[in-house]
Amino acid sequence: MSKEEDRARALKILEANSDLDFVQRILSPEKYPNISWENDQRLERGQTATHQMTWAQNAPDGEATEFYVYPSIVHEDGALDWMSPEDAHDFAVESGQRIVFDKKEDAEWFAEKYKSIWPDK
């Protein structure tokens, strides 16, 4: 798939899920706070973060029926919180802040390629 096709596919998925807070932060990062490298040693010099995407499935391989992407950085009460993997997963499932896919490959693809919507990625 070309870079333009990746971008179009990712943008279509994001627009279909634009009601989700983390998707709004991806589409319009300038409207939200971010975590900067000065405040978090997980980031490299000059980097900022607003969502930190990951993916999971609802059961082990072969048994899973749902695959989803979700942020490990959540937006609550006007601030960002970089959660542990377990807490982020639980938050996504409980709050609905996740995008569900039918196939593992689609969730993996999206978690890797969603940044293609930005011109410099």
The per-residue pLDDT for range 45-70, each reduced to its tens digit, is 887 787 789 999 998 888 988 999 99
Looking at 14-23, 30-39, 74-83, 96-105, which range is the least confident one? 30-39
| Domain span holding position 61 | 3-117
Q: What is the pTM of this model?
A: 0.85
Query: What is the reported pLDDT for 2?
Result: 87
CB 99 within 8 A of CB 13: yes
The per-residue pLDDT for range 69-113, each reduced to its tens digit, is 999 999 988 888 899 999 999 999 999 999 999 999 999 999 988
Please state the domain count of the chain: 1
Query: What is the reported pLDDT for 52?
Result: 86
- Residue 36 or residue 71, greater confidence: 71
Q: Tell me the three-class secondary structure of 37-96, residue by residue.
A: CCCCCCCCCCCEECCCEEEEECCCCCCCCCEEEEECEEEECCEEEECCHHHHHHHHHHHC
Query: Residue 120 — pLDDT band, cuts 50, 70, 90?
Result: low
